[in-house]
Chain A
Amino acid sequence: MIAVGDQAPDFTLRNQDGEKVSLSDYAGRKVLLIFYPGDFSPVCGDQLSIYQEVKPEIEEKGVELVGISVDSFFAHQAFREKLGIDTTLLSDYEPKGEVARAYGSYLDAPLGFANRTLVLVDEEGKVAWTYESPNPGEFPGANVIFDALS
């Protein structure tokens, strides 16, 4: 897992609309990277739905939310529509899980997806806080994010 104080590895991935988004696009702003196992899984849906409900309060603290999984951007688009969320979702699809690996979040075969991990990147692109779930079936409540931001 990437360590607090490290420079967050830059990346360029496609969002749900197929547009390229880089971490460096967020320079000067705080961004919370939400690595999650996969679109349409029940736990991932619950996690992103709960975070959506408190997104205004998170943004009030100057933090933008960005979800990252190994799904294609087409799947992201459908997943967002199904959940009724507007959080940006990035596709760590090809090479599969490359960004999750760079952040130390990837779970190798037979799983083959990112563990449920939160990484807060500060305005200078450094890792300010991290959280890794004990297993992919559990996700941290939104209170954990607010604790980190306080």
Chain B
Amino acid sequence: MTDLGSAPVPAVGRDDHVRGEGEEGVLVYADLGCPRCAATWRQLREQAGRLVFRHFPVASKHPRSPALHSAAEAAGLQGRFFEMVDSLYADRGRVDDPHLWRRAEDLGLDLERFQADRRSESVRDRIRRDFQSGIRAGVTGTPAVFDACTLLRDREREF
């Protein structure tokens, strides 16, 4: 049975999506279908330090969010996670499947692999894991931004 009781935000792990350099930074639970997240993303991108992205799709509010998060995660499996996130937040008007294929093409992704990965169970599980950690940390809306200094210090990965 799934335990979604209160728990601290998990430390930054090996398979977290991390951009930037340094020992300081922020961690954000974000929804790729959320307009407030898109507006905040511009500011987060520009600040110094590390930026850790965790998935928090609220499908009932933004029906295309699950597909967008799957697309970003699938792009990440080909090393282009943040490029896909940037692309999705930069243009929120074109998010149907043909638009996602176009974005994948523009990023130089292997389309066949992208298609298979974005529909895979492992990608769904990866996104759900982030979402559930946000629920346990008490996230009630997006974007939810945390100071990542301690989380980076306690990290399990080597940068």
**Chain A residues packing against B (C-beta within 8 Å):** 45-47, 49-50, 52-54, 57, 60-61, 83-85, 139-144, 146-147, 150
Contacts and interface: CB of A to CB of B under 8 A. Distances in A.
Contact of B1 (A50, A52, A61): A61
Contacts, number: 59
| Interface size, B (range) | 20 to 34
Contacts of B2: 57, 60
Residue of B2, B131, B135, B140 with most chain A CB atoms under a 10 A cut-off: B140
B49 interface: no
A123 to B, nearest CB: 18
Contacts of A142: 4, 135
Contacts of B58: 49-50, 53
Interface of B: 1-7, 58-61, 63, 131, 135-141
Residue of A60, A84, A139 with most chain B CB atoms under a 10 A cut-off: A84
Contacts of B1: 60-61
Nearest to A51: B60
A83 B61 contact: yes
Given A54-B135, A142-B135, A49 B4 contact: no
A45 B61 contact: yes
B64 to A, nearest CB: 11
8 contacts: A50-B141, A53-B58, A85-B60, A141-B140, A143-B7, A143-B135, A143-B136, A146-B3
Residue of A50, A52, A61 with most chain B CB atoms under a 10 A cut-off: A50
A112 B1 CA distance: 39
A85 B59 CA distance: 10
A147 B138 CA distance: 11
A46 B62 CA distance: 11
Given A61-B1, A139-B140, A147 B60 contact: no
Given A46-B141, A53-B131, A54-B135, A143 B5 contact: yes
Contacts of B141: 46, 50
Given A139-B140, A143-B135, A49 B60 contact: yes
Contacts of B59: 53, 84
A49 B61 contact: yes
Contacts of A143: 4-7, 135-138
Contacts of A139: 140
A61 B7 CA distance: 19
A146 B7 CA distance: 11
A40 B139 CA distance: 21
A143 B63 CA distance: 23
B60 A146 contact: no
A35 B143 CA distance: 25
Nearest to B6: A143
A46 to B, nearest CB: 5
Nearest to B7: A143
